[in-house]
Amino acid sequence: MFVISFDIGKCNFAFYIEEFDEKKFEDIKNIPKIKRFNSDGTPTEEFANILSEIYLNGNTILYKNLDLTKDSKKEKYLDQKVCLNMITELDKHKDKIDKCSVVIIEQQMSFQNTRNTMAIKLAQNCASYFLHRYGMDKELIEFPAYHKTQVLGAPKKGGKAMSKPERKKWATEKAIEIIMERGESETLEEISGKKKKDDLADVLIQLQSFKYLRYVEKAM
């Protein structure tokens, strides 16, 4: 099975395609929530072993982080050329995207006074691309960002969640840990060579948390 995972951004538009065998997840026995995490939010040894099985059942097919602002009017909040560039770039990878059954798009912030209007519009443009190209053939999922830290066990300090810079650092370290555990040297070079590592990291760990929730927790 092939799944594509997106992290939305104008200058950092990241996506990741992974192939895995969904039948292998049937052998993984879940454990009660009370046994999954230590007091600091990190996974217990038993749950870490389950997550490791999740990570190892998968291999990288495509890993991209793109700047969509080429030839756009930088002074505009969101030039339509940015949306067109997204379509053009996705079309370049049609052969691989065609194989994907599920499309995961990170849910954009939209609550109270915190709203990233640009990211919301770009996420909608991305979803519309798949609806236009593939109709109902692919499952589109708007994926809450908090699943990444909660499912994979990001550490907490004094019972409090990490700050944004701390989350970015943790996500990068977690993605590299997963890639190294799989022995994917080319993927490791890809992410290590990027200045902005956290966006590439986000799409990978987002897909891992989806795999757990869909196939082990059976919650989505």
> Domains of the chain by range and CATH?
2-216 (3.30.420.10)
Tell me the one-letter amino acid at 73.
K
User: What are the residue ranges of helices labelled H in the chain?
Assistant: 45-56, 80-92, 94-97, 117-134, 146-152, 164-182, 185-192, 197-211
Beta-sheet pairing, 139-143 with 100-106: parallel
- pLDDT the model gives residue 72: 86
- pLDDT the model gives residue 110: 65
- pLDDT the model gives residue 35: 98
pLDDT, averaged in runs of 10, over the chain (220 residues) = 97 97 97 96 98 98 95 82 96 98 90 78 97 98 96 90 91 96 92 82 98 96
- pLDDT the model gives residue 112: 66
What is the phi/psi pair of residue 210, to 5°?
-60, -45
